[in-house]
């Protein structure tokens, strides 16, 4: 755990070994970073981009008991099977999960101040017989968090989700007063904790077109969303809405708030990704640790080519490192 005079220490899991996660790390040495980065990876993966092998092989080994010898270090975790760029292998699924487990354990113990995740491949992990719906749910289970909240940051926007990876048909039933209140309280608390927002203002989208049009296009706003917002306003939360999603993201509205809460995945994320794809950051709220991630997938077709764009990874590191305060133990 860092002290005020030290750089925060951030664990970076390199994700699916056949994807671009290991390649993105080649962009880190030599950059001015606002943290000490510990790469969790098999060393053999880090120098596979042509022209980067010597520089990546020269990175020092991570020693938790020693002072940082550089801003990028390597914590070697061996692959389960040899890996070729762009070719998935279920034999390495548990390797990917072991990276996450090591980073989580280090964050919970105070060894790391935050963790950043490069993309994993859900399909190949499930093909290996391990149920896996994504980083968000996996990390919540490992941390004992009952309700993780997904938020993407980029393009001047912060967009959180009341529900995540659900079929659209299942969303209305999932928007309950209890869930909505919990999500809004988590969003308010982590805007303060992670982003140092002193008095958050949150815009809440309606679920239905035109926010239900007074009940003519759905009653979730009248029966669930509006009463929950009113109750939380009385307890001191700064909430706006519910507003129709088709106008909620107008610049004058988003400029007046610190975050937007969308009711479901494809209500909020297309707007943010249109504004900031390639530089946006996924932040998991509601955990006892700080976790950020890139906004893209494994890009198997780019793995090993040297053409992967590190923009989202660099942004994820910046958010993970500050203004986060080291956990007190």
> Binning pLDDT at 50, 70 and 90, where does residue 70 land?
low
Summarize pLDDT for 195-216 with one digit per residue, the tens. 999 999 999 999 999 999 999 9
pLDDT number for residue 47 = 82
Summarize pLDDT for 19-47 with one digit per residue, the tens. 999 999 888 988 888 899 999 999 999 98
**Cβ atoms 41, 74 nearer than 8 A:** yes
The SS3 assignment for 272 reads helix
pLDDT number for residue 323 = 65
pTM of the full structure: 0.89
240 DSSP β-pair partners:
203
- Using the predicted structure, report yes or no on whether residue 295 has a pLDDT greater than 90: no
In this predicted structure, which of 54-68, 157-171, 174-188 has the lowest mean pLDDT? 54-68
- Across the beta sheet with 114-117, the strand order is 72-76, 36-41, 9-13, 114-117, 291-294, 281-285, 149-154, 157-161, 259-262, 201-205, 238-243
DSSP string, 224-270: IIHHHHHHHHHTT-EEEEEE-HHHHT-HHHHTT-SEEEESSHHHHHH
pLDDT number for residue 243 = 97
- Using the predicted structure, report yes or no on whether residue 3 has a pLDDT greater than 60: no
CA 87 vs. chain centroid, Å, equals 25
- Using the predicted structure, report yes or no on whether residue 18 has a pLDDT greater than 60: yes
DSSP string, 92-112: GHHHHHHHHHHHHHHHHTTS-
Domains of the chain: 1-145+287-329 (3.40.718.10), 147-286 (3.40.718.10)
> Binning pLDDT at 50, 70 and 90, where does residue 69 land?
low
φ, ψ for residue 317, nearest 5 deg: -65, -40
pLDDT number for residue 277 = 84
| CA gap 105, 111 in Å, rounded | 8
| CA gap 320, 325 in Å, rounded | 10
Share of the chain above pLDDT 70, in %: 95
pLDDT number for residue 138 = 92
| Residue whose tokens read 């990704």 | 273
> Binning pLDDT at 50, 70 and 90, where does residue 133 land?
confident
Q: Quick check: bond before 242 cis, omega within 30? A: yes
Rg (CA), the chain: 20
**Cβ atoms 281, 319 nearer than 8 A:** yes
Greater confidence (134 vs 222) lies with 222
The SS3 assignment for 164 reads coil
pLDDT number for residue 4 = 43
The SS3 assignment for 10 reads strand
Tokens of 77: 């975790």
């Amino acid at each position: 755990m860092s002290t005020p005079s030290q750089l925060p220490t951030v664990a970076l899991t390199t994700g699916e070994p056949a994807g671009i996660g290991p390649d993105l790390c080649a962009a880190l040495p030599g950059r001015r970073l606002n943290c000490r980065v510990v790469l969790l990876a098999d060393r053999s993966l880090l120098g596979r981009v042509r022209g980067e092998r010597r520089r990546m092989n020269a990175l020092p080994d991570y020693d938790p008991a020693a002072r940082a010898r550089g801003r990028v270090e390597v914590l070697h975790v061996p692959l389960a099977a040899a890996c070729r760029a762009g070719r998935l292998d279920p034999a390495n699924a548990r390797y990917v999960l072991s990276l996450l487990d090591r980073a989580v354990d280090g964050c919970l113990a105070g060894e790391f101040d935050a963790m950043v995740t490069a993309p994993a491949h859900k399909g190949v992990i499930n093909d290996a017989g391990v149920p896996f719906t994504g980083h968000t749910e996996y990390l919540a289970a490992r941390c004992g968090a009952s309700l993780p909240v997904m938020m993407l940051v980029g393009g001047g926007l912060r967009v959180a989700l009341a529900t995540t990876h659900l079929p659209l048909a299942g969303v209305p039933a999932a928007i309950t007063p209890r869930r909505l209140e919990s999500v809004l309280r988590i969003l308010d608390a982590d805007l303060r904790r992670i982003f140092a927002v002193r008095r958050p203002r949150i815009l809440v989208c309606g679920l239905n077109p035109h926010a239900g049009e007074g009940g003519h296009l759905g009653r979730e706003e009248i029966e669930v969303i509006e009463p929950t917002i009113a109750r939380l306003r009385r307890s001191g939360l700064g909430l706006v809405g519910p507003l129709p999603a088709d106008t909620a993201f107008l610049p004058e509205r988003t400029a007046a708030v610190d975050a937007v809460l969308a009711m479901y995945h494809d209500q909020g994320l297309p707007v943010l990704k249109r504004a900031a794809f390639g530089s946006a950051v996924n932040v998991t709220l509601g955990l006892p640790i700080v976790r950020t991630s890139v906004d893209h997938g494994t890009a198997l077709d780019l793995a090993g080519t040297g053409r992967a764009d590190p923009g989202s990874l660099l942004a994820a590191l910046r958010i993970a490192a500050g203004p986060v305060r080291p956990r007190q133990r």
